[in-house]
Structure 1
Amino acid sequence: MALKELQIRNIRPTDRVTQCTDDRGLYLEVHPNGSKLWRYKYRYMGKQKRLALGRYPDVGLAEARKRRDDARRQLEAGTDPLAERKHEKLVAVFKSANTFGEIAKEYIDKQVAQGQADTTTQKANWLLEQLEPIAARPVADLKPIDLLAALKRIEAKGKHETARRCRSFAGRVFRYAVATGRGESDPSSILRGALVVPKVKHHAAILDPKQMGELLRAIDAYSGHAITRLAMQVSPHVMARPGELRMAEWSEFDLEKAVWKIPAERMKMRRPHEVPLSRQVLAYLDELFALTGPDGYVFPAFHTSRRPLSENTVNQSFRRMGYAVGEVTAHGLRTTASTLLNESGKWSPDAIERSLAHADANSIRGVYNRGRYWDERVAMHQWWSDYLDEMRENAPTDQPDKIRARA
């Protein structure tokens, strides 16, 4: 006889477990401590099984019958309800252990193990911090709207470039999750066009030879720390990225052969890079050697030799010298070199690009060209240093034909 709600409320426990049968395999299991538990008894593949359906009164009679009927439908479809329940629990545990944040950290650690630069790792961790709203969510449950909401939150603060970079970073994490069997898709891929496209901001650079000459004279007259002055003096000559220069170590320099060998892990493109050293650079390094050599960082921090010069030191020095943010930056000195070297017409674009350590758009050609143009680059770096001296001394005109005439 089917149970009734009033009858269930009036059931009193005994000194042993008792069962009160409802209908079609559903029954209420009453324990001596007063617990009343719904159970569904069924047979699957010839074996007797039972499925827990909840605790009374949290699960009432009507809800218990509904859960029993759901289980019966699974049986009719050829599925074992108990096995399906265990599978769902395993999936839930698996998802909770594979949040976006956890997988992102694993992805970053993997990149570090493969030689990712420290600065790139720091940026990746910072991007992960910006995506904090989705960090605790199972990666397999995240939908495009969830990621978009997190990105719009960043965009609302006016950080359009940060939002774009976060979308790109999230895409790499999602694809890593898919590749390792913990994700199903990359929801970032369909968000292209959903964010404000930031205006491209080029690094401020001086392209007028006369103004460049004035900057070089201002650097020579800099009254601040000698290491900072020398960092500013060397930068225009070597065409390196600011991070590559400030983290340079004495062990990377072969002063006799006049070459600076930068290891792959410090390069943006993850390839080792060699820089020819002109006579002027060797003279600066000779002065530096007396201050910071022979071991450790060439440009150490002021308070400790165990850390390199701060990434903001050179740019802050430019500001103190009276140059505004939009006039010149340490990175912009690479643009100055690239522009004036190309305008000279004396050097092949490939040699200039190799000295700037830019990646070749054609990967096969890039590998083939890695060892080429060395002799031309040696001559070009000396020419460039001589031209910098001339700009300092004479402040020549900015007309391209005059530049070519000098060559």
Structure 2
Amino acid sequence: MTRDTLTETKIKSLKPKTKPYKVSDGTIGGLHIAVSVAGGKVFYFAYRFDGKWRLLRLGAYPLFSLEEARDLARDAKKQLAQGVDPAAATKAEKAKVRANATTFRIVTAQWLAWRQSALGAVTVDDTVKRLERHVLPRFGDKPIAEVAKADVKAVLDTLQAENKYQTLKKVRNNISQILRYAIDQEIPGVEVDWTKLVHRQYANLALREKHRAAITTPKEIAGLMLAIGAYRDSSQLTHLALKFSALTFCRPGEIRRAEWDEIDWENKLWRIPAEKMKMRQPHLVPLAKQALDVLRELQTISGHTRYLFPSVRSTERPMSEATVNGAIRRMGYEKHQMCAHGFRGMASSILNEKGFNRDWIERQLAHAPLDKVRAAYLHTEFLEGRCEMMVWWANFLCNKD
């Protein structure tokens, strides 16, 4: 290593050799520039701390000038005089900057991208909307390392005060998953899943939440079907979405995102792919004559598009989640009486009351996740019974029983 004082001119003249080499500054002890076999030049500061030699990378030339490198080396010497390891201090400062730039919103996007392959499209969409509505406006732009128990508690307290217990459980679970993802990714400053420390404050939510509103008596159901029939005058597409919801009692998201290429006309089935299902398993929906009639009428409206029920604003998007619920309100039903999800409770109540095989009903509701063997068994062994049940249900709704 040469002991001559470095200058900008000398640095520019340094040429690569067959092996890496370094040239000392000659002004500040420990400061030198390393030259790689490819010709790259980097300033370093060598020093002893706790009896060991250490190396601090200052920056690459010419992005860092000689004077800038000397200033950094002087700062490092001051830290050494104060008993501080310059390399450790630099690493901590970089981690702090990185942590401050990593907001809860950014980590949420990373977590969603990581989880997307394991979640259905409906679940992803619902999760995004839930977080955008209840969480991200509160602390989405805050560095995730600074998100505290008080932040999480404020969100959950608001939902509890609004008696939104079902949403509270889902939001709490989402926040927990995001924080645990950040911990697993070793994002600086994130060490605690705060939802675990407030869990007891929101216990027994299942006892407090009300079941989704649903009409369950034959007389009320008859009145609902009459109201759905009359809604044709307001909107034919929404009228058909309401009727199809009643006939198939699938989840609202599954109805809205139904696509024409999922309809098996020959076998009278609606084949919903696994990625659209909550339980991530393909689902078969037997189509009774009345459901097929709805589809034939729909063909004249949306048969040329991707979705059975496209958005009024763009045929490239499905109908809004608020459309069916809004129609139910305009038909005169309050929130505590009926909602889009209520068609499922309505069907379950009547079919169980009529003594249909409980396995048929639960499978048709697509409630429980199944192992591959049992899923295959239920798809084949129970399909005939489910077809009979769906025909009975359609006749019941249309007063043909």
Q: Which residue of structure 1 lines up, in the alignment, with residue 192 of structure 2?
A: 185
CA distance in 1, matches of 2:291, 2:54: 85
CA distance in 2, matches of 1:359, 1:353: 8
Equivalent residues in 2 for 1:205-216, closer than 5 Å: 205-216=214-225
Q: Which residue of structure 1 lines up, in the alignment, with residue 31 of structure 2?
A: none
CA contact 1:143–1:187 (8 Å) conserved in 2 = yes
Identical-residue share of aligned pairs (%): 32
Q: Which residue of structure 2 lines up, in the alignment, with residue 144 of structure 1?
A: 149
Higher mean alpha-carbon deviation, 206-215 vs 324-333, is at: 324-333
1:245 alignment partner, one of 242, 250, 255: 255
Q: Secondary structure at the match of 1:274?
A: strand
Distance apart, 1:356 and its partner CA: 0.8
CA contact 1:248–1:298 (8 Å) conserved in 2 = yes
Equivalent residues in 2 for 1:67-146, closer than 5 Å: 71=83, 81-114=85-118, 116-118=120-122, 120-124=124-128, 126-128=130-132, 130-131=134-135, 132-140=137-145, 142-146=147-151
2:333 alignment partner, one of 323, 335, 338: 323
Q: Which residue of structure 2 lines up, in the alignment, with residue 268 of structure 1?
A: 278
Unaligned runs of 5+ in 1: 1-17, 20-40, 55-63, 75-80, 394-405
Unaligned runs of 5+ in 2: 1-26, 29-46, 56-72
Higher mean alpha-carbon deviation, 238-247 vs 155-164, is at: 155-164
Change (3 A) 1:147 1:330: closer
Equivalent residues in 2 for 1:313-392, closer than 5 Å: 313-345=323-355, 347-360=356-369, 367=375, 369-371=377-379, 372-390=381-399
CA distance in 2, matches of 1:309, 1:47: 66
Higher mean alpha-carbon deviation, 88-97 vs 223-232, is at: 88-97
Distance apart, 1:264 and its partner CA: 1.9
Equivalent residues in 2 for 1:218-257, closer than 5 Å: 218-222=227-231, 223-257=233-267
CA contact 1:259–1:277 (8 Å) conserved in 2 = yes
- CA-to-aligned-CA distance 1:241-269 (integer Å, 9 cap, x gap): 12211221211111121011112222222
CA distance in 2, matches of 1:233, 1:267: 21
1:309 alignment partner, one of 319, 344, 348: 319
**How many residues are paired up?**
336
Q: Which residue of structure 2 lines up, in the alignment, with residue 173 of structure 1?
A: 178
Change (3 A) 1:312 1:124: closer
- CA-to-aligned-CA distance 1:129-151 (integer Å, 9 cap, x gap): 63344434443454534533554
CA contact 1:112–1:121 (8 Å) conserved in 2 = no
Distance apart, 1:364 and its partner CA: 7.0
Do residues 204 (structure 1) and 209 (structure 2) align?
no
CA distance in 1, matches of 2:322, 2:386: 29
The two structures, once aligned, show a CA RMSD in angstroms of 3.6
CA contact 1:134–1:150 (8 Å) conserved in 2 = no
Which structure's CA Rg is the greater one?
1
Change (3 A) 1:224 1:169: same
CA contact 1:108–1:121 (8 Å) conserved in 2 = no
CA contact 1:101–1:128 (8 Å) conserved in 2 = no
CA contact 2:122–2:254 (8 Å) conserved in 1 = no
Distance apart, 1:341 and its partner CA: 0.6
CA distance in 1, matches of 2:82, 2:155: 37
Q: Secondary structure at the match of 1:271?
A: coil
Question: How does the TM-score come out when normalised to structure 2?
Answer: 0.71
Q: Secondary structure at the match of 1:312?
A: helix
Question: How does the TM-score come out when normalised to structure 1?
Answer: 0.70
